Amino acid sequence: MLEHLKDKNRAWAAKKIAADPGFFKRLEGQQAPRYLWIGCSDSRVPANEIVDLDPGELFVHRNVANLAPPQDANYLSVLQFAVDVIKVEHIMVVGHYGCGGVAAAVDGKRRGLVDHWLHPIREVHHDHRHELAALDSDKARWDRLVELNVIRQVRNVASDVFVQDAWARGQALNVHGWVYTLGDGLVNDLGVTVSGPEELRA
Ligand code: CO
């Protein structure tokens, strides 16, 4: 089964080796990525491809609607390993316009477990209900909620004790908020980068 994927895998590995015979042998020794990507599971938002990085260059955590919930052991394990062991210099929280997870959080329909997972987005929606209500279309409200969710997750990451402790010991670490556009393949930097505890307070 899945022979077409195994064929594609063998062709991909051969292409890598043709371009750089030592490629996989070097990666076998260690990984030293400079970036942690926290993004949505959506198949249209493939982390490495979007920023054109090779295996070994990007540490990745993805879940529905790119959340960084401070009680989620999966996300926290990734964050701690990235910050304390790999010592990444940049963490990007990457949302995307047209995110079905963000829409599902606030459409009032019941889906089961995912409704609990998406709860933090309903809180963001409530906290910004006046700003959102003032926008003139559902599309504009959806786009803005995607951005507001990214900003909230940047705050979660930057206020986490692993990140706070890294800054306290003088480690260089920047937390960025990006939004990806499905329709043109481009990333938009929301300009909410946090590089230390003072900036988080601001
Ligand atoms: Co999504």
Confidence band, pLDDT 50/70/90 cuts, at residue 31: confident
Ligand 1 centre distance from Cα of residue 4 (Å): 27
Phi, psi angle pair for 128, to nearest 5°: -115, 25
Q: Among candidates 154, 179, 192, which has minimal Cα distance to 98?
A: 179
Ligand 1 centre distance from Cα of residue 99 (Å): 4
Confidence band, pLDDT 50/70/90 cuts, at residue 202: confident
What pLDDT score was predicted for residue 126? 98
What pLDDT score was predicted for residue 109? 96
Ligand 1 centre distance from Cα of residue 5 (Å): 25
Q: Among candidates 200, 155, 201, 194, which has minimal Cα distance to 172?
A: 194
- Segment 42-66 mean pLDDT: 97
Pairwise CA distance, residues 157 & 200, whole Å: 10
Structural domains of the chain ordered from first start? 1-30 (no CATH), 31-201 (3.40.1050.10)
Placement of tokens 């529905």 in the chain: 64
Look up 40 and say whether it is catalytic: yes
Is it the case that residue 133 has pLDDT exceeding 90? yes
